[in-house]
Amino acid sequence: MSPVRPGLAIVGTVLLVLALATLVLVAFSPVGTHEVQRVWTVPTGTLPAQGTEDALLQGSNSSSGSLTVTWSASIPTSVRLYSSPGCRSAAGPCSLSDLVHTWPAATNGSWTMSGSLVFPFLVIWNTSSPTTGTFGLTAVALVSTPEPAPIWQSAIVLAAAAALGVIGAIAVFLGLFLRGGAFAGPAPLVSRSADDASEIAGPPRPKG
């Protein structure tokens, strides 16, 4: 009798591979993302002749996102966008060392940045025009936040992988160490002497 059952061992190996593949899929599958939009608006209003104004764009820092700034004016206007961490109000003291983008003496502009966003951003605009004009601005931030799979979903997948692994391990063990014929019926009785021949043969069959 062969000590190996190849069919059972192969089935067990397949189940173990499936269990391992399930664990790898759970561990390395990409995490979903959720996008949050934030909009700031400076309503179109009066820009005094040779005036300077500003606005602070407050938000939450993000390692992945985009910021789009769009503005328009009726007179030539210079606009500067700064990243100003720690700034609490446009009127208060703010660090202006990190200039993100600038528009020199124009009547409109639009610009988008992507990647890491560090808030707040400070917008300053001014004009050297001797006449009064108007100015308006809109900023839109799209921030991506990770959205992991629900806990119950991960638990079900891990439980299924564990069940496959246990069943596969048992199947491989039985396939390698269970002898062939272990579950076969009892061996047929064989007479060893004339004394037990009639007992083994059983009662006489009726004649037809």
| pLDDT averaged over every residue in the chain | 79
Domain segments of the chain as ranges: 6-29+149-183, 32-147
Residue 81 CA to residue 24 CA, distance in Å, equals 45
What average pLDDT does this structure show over 120-143?
Answer: 94
Amino acid of residue 71 = W
With 60 as the cut, is the pLDDT of residue 2 above it? Answer: no
What average pLDDT does this structure show over 89-101?
Answer: 75
pLDDT at site 1: 47
Please write the tens of the pLDDT for every residue from 39-94: 999 999 999 999 999 999 998 888 888 999 999 999 999 999 998 888 887 766 77
Name every residue whose Cβ is closer than 8 Å to that of residue 73 and which is 6 or more positions away in sequence: 47, 106, 107, 108, 125, 127, 133, 134, 135, 136
Question: Do 92 and 66 form a contact (C-beta atoms < 8 A)?
Answer: no
| Bridge partners, 55 (sequence order) | 123
| Percentage of the chain modeled with pLDDT above 70 | 71
Selected residue with higher pLDDT from 68 and 25: 68
Torsion, CA 177, CA 181, CA 185, CA 189, rounded to 10: -120
What average pLDDT does this structure show over 166-193?
Answer: 65
Residue 163 CA to residue 169 CA, distance in Å, equals 10
With 80 as the cut, is the pLDDT of residue 108 above it? Answer: yes
Please write the tens of the pLDDT for every residue from 142-174: 987 766 666 766 677 777 778 877 887 887 777
Nearest to 95, CA basis, from 131, 122, 114: 122
pLDDT at site 178: 67
**CATH C-level class of 32-147:** mainly beta
Phi first, then psi, for residue 27 (nearest 5°) are -70, -35
Name every residue whose Cβ is closer than 8 Å to that of residue 30 and which is 6 or more positions away in sequence: none
What average pLDDT does this structure show over 183-208?
Answer: 56
What average pLDDT does this structure show over 132-144?
Answer: 93
Name every residue whose Cβ is closer than 8 Å to that of residue 202 and which is 6 or more positions away in sequence: none
Question: Highest mean pLDDT range out of 16-25, 61-70, 132-141?
Answer: 132-141
Residue 39 CA to residue 140 CA, distance in Å, equals 5
Residue 97 CA to residue 180 CA, distance in Å, equals 81
What average pLDDT does this structure show over 9-32?
Answer: 74
pLDDT at site 54: 92
